[in-house]
Amino acid sequence: MKIRFQYYGVRGSIPVSGKEFSRYGGSTTCFFVETEKTKLVIDAGTGIRLLGMDLLKREFGQGKGKLHILFTHTHWDHIQGFPFFIPCYIPGNEIHIYGETKQVKVLTDAGREEIQTWSIERTLYMQQMFMYFPASTHNMSANLHFHELKSGQVLELEDLKVESLTLYHPNHSLGFRITHGDFSFVFCTDVEHSDAMIEKLSAFAEGANGLAYDSQYLPEEYEQGKVGWGHSTYYHGIQIAKKANIPHFHLIHHDPTHDDEKLNSIQELAKKEFSNSFLVPEGFSFTNEDLGF
């Protein structure tokens, strides 16, 4: 039972470019998962544009593709690539989109804030309002199906099972545990650690074969002014991997100020703490067999 994963974007917060970022890449979060029967994407950061180009070479180019897109949350770096995901514009493709419904503060004509309820459909529509982007989600001619995702809900998507957990982050985000047969991988971006969060996440991830984790800051950067910003460090992620008996640890959501040289040094530090640590470069692909399962 083979499952393949590919990181199309691993940068956090905002895309970056330049030769000093050429090794690890500048596109923001997009993670692709594929089995014999299922195609799943987590987040539509700017990395999803290139995934779209790859999918167009396959059945999605003829309008015969089926795909599930799950959103961890809707901060810019996780939705910004969605308007550039070409498979959504090709009639015939079937695209299922899942995200939480949230209460948001919106400015009224009178200049006051009021609370509204925004579904994932509404949030993506608003990102593509005409004043922000020329093509609306209503101009996307694939068959788009929007689904409300609730934390704790278990999704059965053909031969994949996806479980979710609420993560501590501004307006919070979701972590996902993806299971195929007896293999499982936990994808956990945009989370700030606390003792309680480490406990919860360790229980959620217990026994998984791999963990991808928000490693945006070095522990000293976190302590010096980043507390409350919603992100974590490789050090705390490794505590979770150890506690939950997870053999492979992937560092993701790289800080936009961390160039290749800095990320190389973080990779070394993480390896000293846990030898199976891997600071993920953009484009990196692996299967369950590559991890030894």
Between 16 and 157, whose beta carbon lies closer to Zn ion? 16
Between 68 and 75, whose beta carbon lies closer to Zn ion? 75
Between 12 and 25, whose beta carbon lies closer to Zn ion? 12
| CA separation for the pair 96, 120 (Å, rounded) | 11
Between 97 and 167, whose beta carbon lies closer to Zn ion? 167
CB of 31 to Zn ion, least distance (A): 12
Spatial CB neighbours of 239, under 8 Å, sequence gap ≥ 6 = 198
Q: Cβ atoms within 10 A of the Cβ of 76, count?
A: 13
CB of 233 to Zn ion, least distance (A): 15
CB of 260 to Zn ion, least distance (A): 20
Residues that bind Zn ion (CB under 5 A): 12, 75, 77, 190
- Residues 49, 15 contacting (CB under 8 angstroms): no
Residue with tokens 């949230």: 102
CB of 164 to Zn ion, least distance (A): 16
CB of 230 to Zn ion, least distance (A): 6
| Residue in 284, 224, 223 with CA at minimum distance from that of residue 251 | 284
CB of 71 to Zn ion, least distance (A): 11
184-212 residues labelled b (16+ CB within 10 A) or e (exposed): bbbbbbbbbbeeebbebbbebbeebbbbb
Between 46 and 184, whose beta carbon lies closer to Zn ion? 46
Q: Which residue is closest to Zn ion by CB?
A: 75
The 3-state DSSP class for residue 27 equals coil
| CA separation for the pair 215, 79 (Å, rounded) | 20
| CA separation for the pair 29, 78 (Å, rounded) | 6
| CA separation for the pair 204, 198 (Å, rounded) | 10
Between 3 and 186, whose beta carbon lies closer to Zn ion? 186
CB of 254 to Zn ion, least distance (A): 10
Between 169 and 180, whose beta carbon lies closer to Zn ion? 169
Q: Give the number of C-alpha atoms closer than 13 A to the C-alpha of residue 255, restricted to the C-beta side.
A: 22
